[in-house]
């Protein structure tokens, strides 16, 4: 069954590029690490902007992408439904990461949801999945 899922995913992501997916969407929901910078902290979140800066500085950061905070807000406003075009952008970004790494398998880290508020007691937000 796992191979069937990989085949379906590969077919889906090979049909579009990130640029094409963005053109078909109301906005850009997904940024490759190489596209971001520190000035985009509000849009990419602290981790997304930080990894973008490390990528631009030439540090050994594996290829990846960030889903914007706007996408997260839209997701909750739409009662936990992906915003229009976001999934297609994610699939296209996955294809780019696969091409950059030469591997079909990717690691997805989920920090989706509320912004993690830092307090003396720790972070409060949804748990991350890796």
Q: Which helix (H) or strand (E) holds 30?
A: strand 30-32
End-to-end Cα distance, the chain: 21
d(CA 36, CA 80): 26
Q: For the packed helices 69-77 and 86-101, what is the interaxial angle rounded to 10 degrees?
A: 140
2-112 maps to CATH 3.30.70.1230: no
- List the structure tokens of 40: 């985009």
Domain boundaries, the chain: 2-112
pLDDT per residue as tens, the chain (130 positions): 555 455 445 444 444 589 999 999 999 999 999 999 999 999 999 999 999 999 999 999 999 999 999 999 999 999 999 999 999 999 999 999 998 888 876 566 666 555 444 444 444 444 444 3
């Amino acid at each position: 069954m796992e191979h069937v899922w990989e085949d379906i995913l590969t077919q889906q992501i090979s049909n579009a590029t990130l640029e094409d997916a963005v053109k078909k969407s109301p906005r850009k929901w997904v940024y490759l690490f190489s596209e971001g910078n520190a000035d985009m902290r509000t849009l990419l979140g602290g981790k997304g902007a930080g990894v973008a800066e490390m990528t631009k500085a030439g540090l050994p950061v594996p290829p990846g992408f960030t889903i914007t905070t706007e996408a997260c807000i839209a997701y909750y406003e739409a009662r936990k439904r992906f915003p229009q075009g976001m999934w297609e952008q994610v699939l296209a970004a996955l294809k780019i990461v696969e091409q950059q790494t030469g591997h079909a398998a990717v690691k997805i880290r989920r920090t989706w949801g509320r912004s993690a508020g830092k307090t003396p007691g720790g972070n409060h937000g949804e748990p991350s999945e890796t």
